[in-house]
Structure 1
């Protein structure tokens, strides 16, 4: 059994499609198929049920996938640890976020102490983030809402109020607060289903007796305030994403107390590099200062155990 066979098997198992897996691995389909066949010969059992070019993990395959993921995960952690020991001032932090409004400020602070560390940041849905976390493929996630799990460290950083953004010419623009019931006939711009704020807002509106009507649904939260300013629709915006430079009024939501929790997440068994430890320290301090400014107190730290 070869390490290459295990790596190929992992990708094929996740894709369950020869063509897609070959594309990700940058190998020919015939080469990939032969490698998987050799692995099955070594194991003495088929790992997939084959339907044309599509594959489906069978009972043997599901059992072997669990062991393969653990083995390759541990090898990757060893590789990361050696790299960190040899040169801790270089490398790349793998980050995933469902909330990006605070990220520029956090990365700016981090760069002051670690100018040579690079970033790879993914804006993802909760489902995608959960997969990345459980596989240990990212150093940290900034998530709202938090994700729980036996293998996940979860630190609640900030309680972020959700406000309603309205253009300055709107009939509600001279107000400071509004109830959800008053918004039932309005049109909204928002992110797609699967993002934390959207799911939180839709649930609150449903409890208030209506389903919000969206004229725009996207996957770029930063675009929403521009659409509000253009009078395309109203938007539910986290307070951390308010843009003081646009002609928008932000209204507090009365009664329901719409608040999202922002959490820092990581896999319990993923090796934490010195750069990652520095990043966690910067994030904690950043939201600690924000909590003190907004609420006059520091946040309560919790974990997923």
Structure 2
């Protein structure tokens, strides 16, 4: 027959037992636990009833612990310590209040936004170990869904029931060409006049690639793409080296260098990227993610 533990025996009552044995009196135990002496006495009496044996002898108004109480207390110390560890490990496995925070980010955000975010999160939670994983919109979103990342900084994803997204800022898309190209000095670019141009672009999983293709759909022709790459800094180097032109978000303007010119698009092709912080909606109260959201808001307000 399986032994059943009485409902009278709880972790809270075991904590009261330990507090009483360590404090030596009902009043000091009550002060330590921030409860009344009546609550301490009631918890000890209920625990004794649940154990079906004597835990205390009455000597006047004092409760003197028996050997049985000492045995139970020793087991309770180990049990409570094990439960604290189990709770910590369980929450860490789910990503809640873990000592590590895994953040995914677009390459283009690592120049200015991400460093500011990382400084902000370290100020709020200095003990937190932060891992940064760069990638494309699609790859990062998949890793978030699988629980491999805690949060991602990307262009706004399509709405999903399980994903919460907080808008951080919007960014204009520009035509990018070598500084010494025929486009130098133009105030805006009509993509229809670029039908014979060679282009380089990011791979299909990046939000900038989707914007690139949408702009040329509006222009009415399919661009000649000579090369696709998987990070925006390589793409910028290819453009500045004369391999081809492309479309780039304005946030990389500060690191584009003098060999590359970023020119506004004609209003017919104008588009913006909405950059946001995304995480699983079930974790919206996670202290680490709350600190991250606060750091993101502060970062974008100062850049």
TM-score by length of 1: 0.62
Larger Rg: 1 or 2? 2
List aligned pairs for 1:1-305, cutoff 5 A. 78-79=91-92, 84=97, 91-101=99-109, 102-242=113-253, 243=255, 245-255=257-267, 256-270=269-283, 272-290=285-303
Contact 1:165 1:237 in 2 (8 A): yes
Runs of 5+ unmatched residues, structure 2: 1-86
Deviates more, 1:135-144 or 1:155-164: 135-144
CA displacement at 1:268 relative to structure 2: 0.9
Alpha carbons of structure 1 residues 151 and 232: separation in structure 2 relative to 1, 3 Å: same
State the secondary structure of the residue aligned to 1:214. strand
Q: Say what the alpha-carbon RMSD is for the aligned residues.
A: 2.7
TM-score by length of 2: 0.62
State the secondary structure of the residue aligned to 1:201. helix
Contact 2:284 2:290 in 1 (8 A): no
Structure 1: how far apart are the matches of 2:265 and 2:232?
19
Contact 1:187 1:233 in 2 (8 A): yes
Alpha carbons of structure 1 residues 75 and 213: separation in structure 2 relative to 1, 3 Å: farther
Structure 2: how far apart are the matches of 1:273 and 1:80?
13
Contact 1:156 1:261 in 2 (8 A): yes
Contact 1:130 1:147 in 2 (8 A): no
Structure 2: how far apart are the matches of 1:105 and 1:229?
27
State the secondary structure of the residue aligned to 1:178. coil
| Deviation readout 1:91-148 (Å, 9 max, x if unpaired) | 2211122354232333244334444432222233343333333334322111213231
Runs of 5+ unmatched residues, structure 1: 1-73, 291-305
Structure 1: how far apart are the matches of 2:167 and 2:107?
14
State the secondary structure of the residue aligned to 1:193. coil
